[in-house]
Structure 1
Amino acid sequence: MIKLTAGVITNKRLPANTNFDRHPDECPFCHKGVQPFLFGGFLHNNLCKLWLFYACPRADCERHFIGEYSQAIASDGVIYHFEKTLLGNYGKMDFSEDINKLSPDFSRIYNQARQVRISRTD
């Protein structure tokens, strides 16, 4: 469990300590494993959501993204569980020449469906 102090969060409604389970471990832009820089966040009480604002630490990327967390009640209080990253690109899946010859539209349709699945919101 990670404790986030109010000094890092920009929303004044946030409790002094906000607990969340983990940071994202992959940048949604460069798709590399990272330990992102955390530089702020926002707690939406009505939606029971926490959004944390991150930056990729890799010098060849340094893009910003958002981690979305959902509230859960634990024995020792409220904790926010990491769900997904928002923003980024979804990386195109490439298929063999045989598949592309068999169905020229398959790759395009598959990648569109993959992007929707990854970026879906509740």
Structure 2
Amino acid sequence: MEELIINGGRTRISVSVLPDFCPICNVGINPEFVNGLYCSTQQEVDALFLCPMSKCKKMFIASYRFESMKGFYFLKSLLPRTPKPVTVAAEVVEISPQFAEIFTQATQAEEYGLNEVAGVGYRKSLEYLIKDYCVAQRPDQEDDIKKRPIAQVIESFVTNENIKQCAKRAIWLGNDETHYVRKWVDKDIKDLKMLIQLTVNWIQQEVLTKKLLEDMK
């Protein structure tokens, strides 16, 4: 439990926590409190903080909502937010730069709390990754690969069993993000991201292994 003095020093309130990272530079900090004000009612408070990092020095707003059952203000958001950079393996970017772009945008959407949009983006990124990967493996069948539904592409053109099984299940969950009724009710976007990451890892390992073996014949 922490305390803030708001309204120019006229009011003292109890809050659940103080921000421990800057939503702009994404660095762990002990922010400098500037001031706070009630919003339209006394149920919500916006508190202004300053990031102490010399490379940032930006101000951000922590929004609190009063919890009557607990008797204090609960931190609900930090704004503005700058999404953390997304790192995609260079070997995968080389195969599918469009995957990297779409996956990055989906991650940013998720960080902004747009989960319904993020899930669709992750599903789209996976389709680009798998089709670009298959085209790289079989360039003579590029037109056929691009025209086929993604499930058929995985079944017909992916020979690496680890990639096939992870990608197949990722598509199952990705389709749930685009359909009205979910089939996998016990799975969510975290499971989808994990399967995409596993698919990416297996592709990267395959590429690196192939390069190493060619270099050391």
Q: Same fold (TM over 0.5)?
A: yes
Contact 1:86 1:119 in 2 (8 A): no
Confirm or deny that 1:2 pairs with 2:2: yes
| Mapped partners of 1:119, 1:9: distance in 2 | 29
- Please tell me the residue identity of whatever aligns with 2:88: F
Seq. identity, %: 23
Q: 1:99 to 1:52 in 2, by over 3 A?
A: same
Confirm or deny that 1:84 pairs with 2:77: yes
2:104 match: secondary structure: helix
1:105 match: secondary structure: helix
- Please tell me the residue identity of whatever aligns with 2:3: K
Indicate the structure with greater helix content: 2
- Counting only pairs closer than 5 Å after superposition, residues 29-108 of structure 1 correspond to structure 2 as 29-46=24-41, 48-75=43-70, 77=71, 79-108=72-101
- Please tell me the residue identity of whatever aligns with 1:4: L
Cα deviations by residue, 1:22-51 (Å, 9 ceiling, x for unpaired) = 111111222211010011122224594321
Q: 1:68 to 1:117 in 2, by over 3 A?
A: farther
TM value normalised by structure 1:
0.76
Cα deviations by residue, 1:83-111 (Å, 9 ceiling, x for unpaired) = 23111421220100222134322222222
Confirm or deny that 1:18 pairs with 2:21: no
1:28 match: secondary structure: coil
- Counting only pairs closer than 5 Å after superposition, residues 104-115 of structure 1 correspond to structure 2 as 104-115=97-108
Displacement of 1:52: 0.9
Q: Taking CA–CA contacts closer than 8 Å with sequence separation of 6 or more, which of the two structures ends up with the larger relative contact order? A: 1
| Mapped partners of 1:109, 1:47: distance in 2 | 41
1:42 match: secondary structure: strand
- Please tell me the residue identity of whatever aligns with 2:96: S
Structure 1, gaps ≥5 residues long? none
Indicate the structure with greater strand content: 1
Q: How many residues align?
A: 113
